[in-house]
């Protein structure tokens, strides 16, 4: 495989991508003109643009709340820019296509209840589902042939990280920044370039099933997620989709490692179980595909570093999960004290729409940061009042 940028040609998706960039300032310029992924951009944050509404005019539709946020639009554009920096033309186009239209194409296999029951039975026989945590009726989310846009989905379940409309775009944008800088750091410190194409593609798609899994409900909450192979179902479903579409085995394995790197034999078995479940769901042989070793009991050896990098890059949740939970608690206090909501309001749709709109406009990360400041609650309340009058 050529290691000079002059001889670089578009590679087939079945081959591993490799990025070799020149040293020093040339490296920064070579980042595909991506200001949002540059150190300079990080040092000078953009001005926050808000769309304030009256309390009685808060959107009652989570998708609308996401689409009315300049912050979410910026995050979505950053995701597209990062994916657009992938050098391999075939891989880049495949990633962008899936981001722009995250409809799970593998669902053609499960148009009937019988096919879903059969899938459940196969996973159960392999020990990949726990019948105390999921049944055949919930092995896959409801599907009408369409799903919401990537841009409008929450970052996770309603009690976890970035659970507001558009939270997925903010979560993945953050992870892509981190992954990009890990690759850059390894080049600057250890003097070699990891396969950035594979790492960035896997990070961009690691939660591609969330628009499908976390469907918005009328009360402003998101659909409950069930568990497959010991993980939230979105992880296995995301892997099933890229397997079904024929993404490179290296990308699929790196994507699987987002939720756990093979740092020990036990940890490796976790990754193996997710790949097995996803391959069953996609109707593929994981050994023949190149996802598992010849005996099917481990990952291909030696392990590639890109999976570990994707795992490191997906650690935004370490801060964003508690930040979201604390912010929601603070927003309940504000809703009661500053906006006159009752206890029944706080446990239902009225508060859900309130928190959704605030989250989409400001992010829970920003609110959590303000709460920890000198004036804490008062500064956070001032920001909320700038969004909801």
Describe the crossing of helices 89-100 and 196-205 by its angle, rounded to 10 degrees: 10
pLDDT bucket at 44, cuts 50 / 70 / 90: low
| Residue 66, token pair as written in the block | 């996401």
Q: Look up residue 194 and give its DSSP letter.
A: -
pTM of the model: 0.89
Q: How far apart are CA 348 and CA 175, in angstroms?
A: 31
pLDDT at 47: 82
pLDDT over 80 (residue 83): yes
Mean pLDDT (whole number) for 130-151: 97
Mean pLDDT (whole number) for 83-103: 98
| Residue 106, token pair as written in the block | 């593998």
Contact predicate 129/139, CB 8 Å: yes
Q: How far apart are CA 178 and CA 186, in angstroms?
A: 12
For the chain, give the percent of residues with pLDDT over 90. Answer: 87
Q: 97-117 burial by CB neighbour count: b if 16+ within 10 A, else e?
A: ebbeebebebbebbeeeeebe
Q: In what helix (H) or strand (E) does residue 314 lie, and over which residues does it extend?
A: none
Contact predicate 358/331, CB 8 Å: yes
| Residue 79, token pair as written in the block | 């995701």
Sign of CA dihedral 204, 22, 182, 290: positive
Task: Kindly report, residue by residue over 13-40, the tens digit of the pLDDT.
Answer: 333 333 333 333 333 333 333 434 544 4
pLDDT bucket at 119, cuts 50 / 70 / 90: very high
pLDDT over 90 (residue 254): yes
Mean pLDDT (whole number) for 96-112: 98
Q: In what helix (H) or strand (E) does residue 53 lie, and over which residues does it extend?
A: none
Mean pLDDT (whole number) for 251-272: 98
In the chain, domain spans = 60-315, 317-389
Q: How far apart are CA 27 and CA 73, in angstroms?
A: 27
For the chain, give the percent of residues with pLDDT over 70. Answer: 88
**246 phi-psi bin (left φ>0, alpha ψ -120 to 50, beta other):** left
| Residue 142, token pair as written in the block | 């409801």
Average model confidence (pLDDT) across the chain: 91
Cis omega (within 30 of 0) for bond into 167: no
User: Where does the chain have alpha helices with state H?
Assistant: 25-29, 39-43, 62-67, 70-84, 89-100, 113-125, 167-190, 196-205, 210-213, 233-244, 249-256, 265-282, 286-289, 305-313, 317-337, 343-346, 349-362, 364-371, 377-385
Q: How far apart are CA 137 and CA 158, in angstroms?
A: 21
Mean pLDDT (whole number) for 348-372: 98
pLDDT at 109: 98
Mean pLDDT (whole number) for 122-144: 98
Mean pLDDT (whole number) for 117-141: 98
């Amino acid at each position: 495989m050529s290691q000079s940028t002059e001889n670089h040609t578009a590679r087939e998706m079945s081959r591993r991508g490799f990025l070799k960039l020149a040293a020093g300032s040339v490296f920064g310029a070579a980042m595909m003109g991506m200001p949002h992924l540059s150190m300079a951009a990080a040092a000078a944050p953009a001005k926050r643009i808000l769309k304030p509404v009256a309390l009685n005019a808060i959107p009652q539709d989570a998708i609308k709340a996401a689409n009315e946020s300049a912050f979410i639009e910026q995050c979505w554009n950053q995701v597209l820019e990062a994916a657009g920096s992938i050098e391999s033309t075939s891989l880049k186009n495949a990633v962008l296509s899936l981001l722009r239209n995250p409809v799970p194409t593998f669902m053609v296999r499960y148009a009937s209840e019988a096919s879903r029951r059969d899938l459940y039975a196969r996973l159960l026989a392999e020990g990949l589902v726990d019948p105390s945590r999921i049944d055949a009726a919930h092995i896959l989310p409801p599907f009408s042939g369409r799903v919401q846009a990537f841009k409008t989905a929450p970052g996770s379940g309603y009690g976890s990280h970035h659970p507001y409309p558009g939270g997925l775009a903010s979560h993945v944008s953050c992870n892509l920044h981190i992954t990009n800088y890990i690759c850059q750091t390894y080049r600057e410190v250890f003097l070699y370039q990891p396969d950035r194409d594979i790492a960035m593609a896997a990070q961009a798609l690691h939660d591609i099933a969330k628009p499908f899994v976390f469907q918005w409900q009328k009360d402003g909450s998101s659909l409950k997620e069930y568990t497959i192979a010991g993980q939230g179902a979105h992880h296995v479903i995301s892997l099933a989709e890229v397997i079904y579409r024929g993404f490179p085995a290296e990308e699929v394995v790196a994507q699987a490692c987002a939720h756990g790197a093979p740092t020990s034999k036990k940890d490796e078995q976790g990754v193996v179980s997710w790949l097995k479940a996803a391959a069953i769901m996609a109707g593929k042989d994981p050994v023949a595909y190149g996802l598992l070793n010849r005996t099917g009991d481990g990952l291909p050896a030696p392990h590639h570093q890109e999976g570990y990098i994707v795992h490191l890059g997906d650690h935004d949740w370490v801060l964003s999960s508690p930040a979201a939970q604390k912010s929601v608690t603070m927003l309940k206090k504000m809703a009661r004290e500053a906006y006159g909501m009752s206890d029944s309001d706080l446990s239902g749709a009225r508060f859900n729409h309130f928190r959704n709109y605030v989250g989409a406009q400001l992010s829970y990360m920003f609110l959590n940061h303000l709460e920890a400041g000198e004036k804490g609650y008062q500064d956070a309340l001032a920001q909320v009042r700038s969004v909801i009058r």
